[in-house]
Structure formats: C-alpha cells, structure tokens
C-alpha cells in the first residue's frame, strides 16, 4: 500500500490506488522516530504516560497523539518526547536501585490520618 520515508524531517507518502496491496519492503515507518506520549486528564493532576507512536516530526507527533490517545475525551494537555531522549534506569540495576527502600518504613507517611477532603494523596 505505501512506501514512506523520512528525509531530513520530510516524508514521502506515496500510495497507489486502494485496490493494490503489499507494503514496500525496506522502507516505511522504521524511518519515523518513536515518540512517547503523555496526557494530562481533565481534572488536572500530572501528565501520565499513555503509550507511544511513530511520527515524522514533533508537530505531527502531537497531532497523532491527539488522534490516537485522546479520542474519548481523556485529555486537556499532551506532551510528546522522542523516545531516544529519555534516559532510563536499567533493569539490571533494579536491585541496587530500588531494593534498599523496601524496609525503610519510616519513609512512608503511614502514621498520619489523611482527611477525606484531601484529594490526590
């Protein structure tokens, strides 16, 4: 159906008539960068990661995110960021990174009564 490529941020959709089929091998969305999508819901709170998508550039990524991830009235604000720009902790470091927190109960504010009227805790 399509052979799309990205060259210097531009792209070339070229689609034969609808009746044809078969994707051109070796070209296509692999050339589009992967974006991670964050949506802030109606009520405020924080932007939450909802998924990822491919897009030819930042601007189209925001628009694609609107169409793919906010179809059901989920959001009032969208962030996108190229996945390659995210620095992440390594799964191999899981234990040294997180295990030391497991037994430090005094770090958790569990000794307070939180009134029902305090939201988002």
Given the rule CB under 8 A, which residues bind another protein?
1-2, 4-5, 7, 10-18, 29, 32, 39-43, 45, 48, 50, 53-56, 59-60, 63-64, 67-68, 71-75, 119-121
Q: How far is the CB of 102 from another protein (least distance, A)?
A: 17
Nearer to another protein, 104 or 120 (CB): 120
The 3-class secondary structure across the chain, one letter per residue, is CCCCCEECCEECCCCCCCCCCCCCCCCCHHHCCEEEEEEEECCCCCCEEEEEEECCCHHHHHHHHHHHHCCCCCEEEEEEEEHHHCCCCCHHHHHHHHHHHCCCHHHCCCCCCCCCCCCCC
Q: How far is the CB of 89 from another protein (least distance, A)?
A: 18
């Amino acid at each position: 159906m399509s052979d799309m490529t990205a060259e210097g941020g531009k792209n070339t959709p070229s689609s034969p008539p609808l009746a044809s089929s078969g994707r051109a091998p070796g070209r296509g969305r692999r050339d589009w960068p992967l974006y991670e999508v964050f949506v802030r819901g109606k009520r405020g709170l924080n932007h939450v990661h909802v998924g990822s998508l491919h897009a030819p550039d930042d601007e189209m990524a925001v628009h694609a995110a609107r169409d793919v991830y906010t179809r059901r009235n989920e959001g009032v604000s969208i962030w996108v960021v190229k996945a390659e720009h995210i620095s992440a902790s390594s799964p191999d470091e899981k234990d040294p990174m997180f295990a030391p927190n497991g037994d430090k109960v005094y770090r958790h504010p569990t000794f307070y009564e939180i009134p029902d009227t305090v939201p988002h805790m």
